[in-house]
Structure 1
Amino acid sequence: MIHNKSAFINYFFITVIIFVLIGVFLPTIFHMFATPQNTFYSLADGYTFDYYQYMSWIKQGMDGHLLLTSPYTEIPYPRVLIHPFFPILGMIAKLFSVSPFIAYAFSRITATVIFIFVFYILTSKSLNLPSARFISLFLFLTSTGFWTISYDKNIYSLVEPISWNQSFNVIGKFSLPPHHLLALSFSILTYLLLIKKRKRILDPSLSILLGILTGFLNPSTL
């Protein structure tokens, strides 16, 4: 019986991944097919000001730079080590001869799957009962922020907790930039290593390494 429940949880987990990927990337696919002829769709997602900064960083990585500068200012901006995820992604993109836009899109897909998988590992290690793991995955999938009801000019409307932040709705929380999702994933893995009852010799070193990688991916996560 337990085996059947565990198998059900695994199938549900796969369904969650498929549902999330469809929900997150369906608008992108729609706009790809809806793009008029002789125009270019850049696959822009989220906060577009940040998006095009990411594209410039990926392009600099494709040009062989690990240290980054900003092309969007006339003020001299020396190259510094900031968000190495993007220039490294650019170097990988160059190996496969893909554009920064395609590279970023694939990194979003990869980071989303990794994030969900790491959360599944967290539930598997933290919760013994299959029913508890199912509930946690269900809440993980459906949870959102605390919306409010606005009444203005005789019209009721739902208002997101932070209107510009897409991470506070059911699907939007999975469409965070890839370095955010990966940093969250690494922080969860670090937590799992720290709470292990039977620690291996390398576990403390792995925890430190994951913590450092989390900081490099997204310092604000720390």
Structure 2
Amino acid sequence: MPVAPDIAVELRPETLAVPASLEPAIGVAWAAAQARAGGRLFNGQVFSVSDFSDKRISGCLVEYRLAVAAYADPALAAALRVQPLSVCGVLRMPDGILFGRRQPGATYEAGLWQTPRAGSVDGGAVRNGQVDALGQIRTELAEEIGLDWARITSCRAVTLVRHAATGVHDLAFLLETSAMFAEVENCHRASGCTEYMSLRAVPETALAGFLAAEAARVVPAAPLFLRAAGLG
């Protein structure tokens, strides 16, 4: 769904009641995710979407373990009605669009190519009852790519994509930078972040061919983000 470039994300004073009967399945899903991640997961709070329009997204904070369980099991997703919000970036460089290959042990979409940066909106993004989605993607970009926000020349929201099976909502932003891929790659290497096995720049003229050749290894939402940004 196309969205306003400055779409607002609003926090509601709601809580999610978890039926006791679901706790065993939630525990199994969380333990499996922890094992894949080597015990690095932290059960903080993430934003769950209640409703949305092209100008506003509303929702509440829920435990991260519920979002992980919902992602792992569509039946749990339907029962819990957890709909996590992620911010996703399409980074447009002068020499191409940035793609990153996720690690095989990643909680979400392991081993697939995606347009970095992407991450769940968490409680740290809340400011006076509003969720700073732009601030979240700024943080994610610094942590996982290492690129300073001063190198971003423009940023705007372009689309909201809902994944029917898991309930995950991806809010995608188009970020433009004057930094060439070599600089971005050096920033990523210096950051020490291991979120991605590798990075690559795909020239805009080669996007269609790349997406066709790597169709089975690209996150399903990436072509939708690119199309919404006028690049697909």
* Rg comparison, structure with higher value: 1
* Fold similarity call, TM over 0.5: no
Say which structure, 1 or 2, has more relative contact order (CA 8 Å, 6+ apart).
2
> Comparing both structures, which one devotes a greater share of its residues to helix?
1
What is the TM-score with the length of structure 1 in the denominator?
A: 0.26
What is the TM-score with the length of structure 2 in the denominator?
A: 0.25
